[in-house]
Amino acid sequence: MSVFRVAIHIVPRRGILDPQGKAVADSLHSLGFSAVRDVHVGRHVVIELDASDRSGADAAARTMCERLLANPVTEDFEIATVSTL
């Protein structure tokens, strides 16, 4: 077993109104960042866990996302990085 650090991105599903993202986009526009087309605000979760290998850590994190970390109705997730500690 080794210790892995898994970084997970969870974002509102495309097509579902994201008022927080819209408010941030509006603020960026008012600061002059007129090139900004769209903003989505989500969560970044970092988990340290024991696993036999990298794919085991990845699979465990996916299961955690499906069961708790992401809402299957409204959110999408992606495993951003899996690194050894």
Partner 1 sequence: MRFGIVTFPGSNCDYDAYRAVVDGLDEDAVYLWHKDHDLQGSDVVILPGGFSYGDYLRPGAIGRFSPIMQEVIAHAGRGGPVMGICNGFQIACEAGLLPGALLRNASLMFVCEPTRLRVENNDSMFTSEFSRGEILTIPIAHGDGRYTADADTLDRLEGEGQVILRYAGGPADADEWWSPNGAQRAIAGIVNDGGNVLGMMPHPERAIDQLLGSADGLGIFRSVLAQVGA
- Return the number of the residue (1 or 68) whose C-beta is nearest partner 1: 68
CB atoms within 10 A of CB 69: 17
**Within 13 Å and on the Cβ side, how many CA atoms surround 62?**
7
Could you tell me the smallest distance in angstroms from the CB atom of residue 46 to partner 1?
14
Give least dist CB 80 to partner 1, A.
Answer: 18
Catalog residues that contact partner 1 under the rule CB under 8 A.
12, 16-17, 19-20, 23, 43, 68-69, 71, 73-74
Is 44 in contact with 81 (CB distance < 8 Å)? no
